[in-house]
Amino acid sequence: MQDLNPTQPPPRRTRARTAPLVAAVAAGLLALPALGLGAAALVANGEKSEDGYLSTSAHRFATHTPALATDELDVDAGGSDWFVAKDRYGKIRLAVDPSTDEPVFVGIARTSDVDAYLGGTDYAEVSDVAYEPFAAEYRPHAGDERAAAPTEQRFWEVSTHGSGEQTLTWDVEHGAWSIVVMNADGSEGVDVGVSAGANVPVLATIGWLSLGSGVLLALLGGGLLYVALRPRDPRPRPLAPTPVAA
């Protein structure tokens, strides 16, 4: 009588088909995001301008306070010294166009220096940005002190000021950074249009590596699927001879 015990393990032939089938599905699931990331990175790399930058449209940022600052921009190298070298992260470029003829100032500095500079003053911090439609949210910081003119400070990593549109380019480095936009004389009321651009040197590398990984995973999944679904030899295998006792 046939044993119908549900705990009996499946036949070896069934298990031999199931393992590569599961592996094929897993490889296929991993291949899809890799292919998508690679394609997106290569498309983005192809949309760079002639000088190698991917840029946003200009958007308005405004505050009645004397200064407008970003939240902390944390650039983490993960503890790898080689990763913090110049040009490893690429560059960012800011184009700041004031709504008036008054000279405008834009600078990038370590967040600790910016906090010390603006501490005790009245300024607005950009806390969140949404797109389509564009909207910026601000976190107010109240204070009674007046910040010294930004053009007189020496802690800025990079800065520029003047009338009309100002362009600032920065080689991104490891650390915590903040961007500050003010009127050059430190007066109240900042109203500017800002366009941000990035030159990411590894974008093409990321695209090709991801695309190549996705293709290899897809090929691996296809091979495993063939192994799992290929027809089996219907002929039974001959039984091994039973050893005869001496």
Walk along the chain (246 residues) and give the pLDDT tens digit of each residue.
455 555 555 555 555 567 666 666 676 677 677 666 656 655 555 555 566 666 678 889 999 999 999 988 877 644 434 333 444 557 888 899 999 889 999 999 999 999 999 999 999 999 888 877 888 899 999 998 988 999 999 999 999 999 999 999 888 888 899 999 999 999 999 999 988 877 766 555 565 566 666 667 666 766 666 566 666 655 656 656 666 665
CATH number (1.10.3210.10, 2.60.40.420, 2.60.120.380, 1.20.1370.10) of 54-203 reads: 2.60.120.380
Structure tokens at 128: 């969140």
pLDDT of residue 67: 95
Residue indicated by tokens 């970003």 = 70
pLDDT of residue 81: 40
Question: How does strand 104-110 pair with strand 91-98?
Answer: unpaired
- What are the residue boundaries of the structural domains of the chain, listed by start? 13-46+204-229, 54-203
pTM of this structure: 0.62
Sign of CA dihedral 219, 225, 226, 227: positive
Cβ(54)–Cβ(200) below 8 Å: yes
pLDDT of residue 178: 93
